[in-house]
Amino acid sequence: MSNIALTRIDDRLIHGQVITAWCKITSAKRIVIVDDLVVKDPFIVQVLQMAAPSTVKVEVHDIESGAEVLKSYDGDENLIVLVKYPKTVLGLVNNGVDLKELNVGGMGAGLGRKSFYKNISVSDEEKEIFRELISKNVKCFIQIVPDAKKIDVGTLL
């Protein structure tokens, strides 16, 4: 598990920014998407796999199997973990995944969500989840692109 180069919340999962910026800076050759709904949709899984370059392996898991994959990973390739929601990260942590950092990327506006930082919106429940993750020693920060300054989520709660 020491080769997790980036764990990121991004409601778009794989898109140009992730592929061009984050894969490059982390030298990731594997992307592990963890989402209980996406894993059940073979079409979306195929689209996500096709969105990545052929040099990057993409796999999709639910929280339980994703946690097992991440806990047992002992390969030498850097990997990126992508999720849509903070609750997924909490599920991974509660299932024994030792995450040190969480990059908060895209979290769009929607019903019950309020502006949190620039284009990032969160619900009250998600704020509580961030507090819980921080209490479990997961350093949560906002950083849209690699060369942007890191913003500590704890200072915004």
Name the residues annotated as catalytic.
15
Nearest CA among 135, 110, 97 for reference residue 11: 110
pLDDT average, residue stretch 48-62: 95
Whether 22 contacts 95, CB under 8 Å: no
Class of domain 4-149: alpha beta
The pTM of the full predicted model, rounded to 2 decimals, is 0.95
Q: How far is CA 140 from CA 23, 46, 74, 104, 156, in A?
A: 20, 30, 24, 7, 11
72 three-class SS: helix
Q: What residue ranges do the domains of the chain occupy? A: 4-149
pLDDT single digits (tens) 72-130: 998 889 999 999 999 999 999 999 999 999 999 999 999 999 999 999 999 999 999 99
Query: Which stretches of the chain are assigned E, i.e. beta strand?
Result: 4-9, 30-34, 57-61, 79-83, 101-104, 114-117, 120-122, 139-142, 151-152
Cβ pair 8, 81 in contact under 8 A? yes
Q: pLDDT (tens digit, 9 = 90+) per residue, 7-47?
A: 999 999 999 888 889 999 999 999 999 999 999 999 999 99
Which of 29, 147, 39 is CA-nearest to residue 80? 29
Q: Given pLDDT bands bounded at 50, 70 and 90, which one contains residue 2? A: low
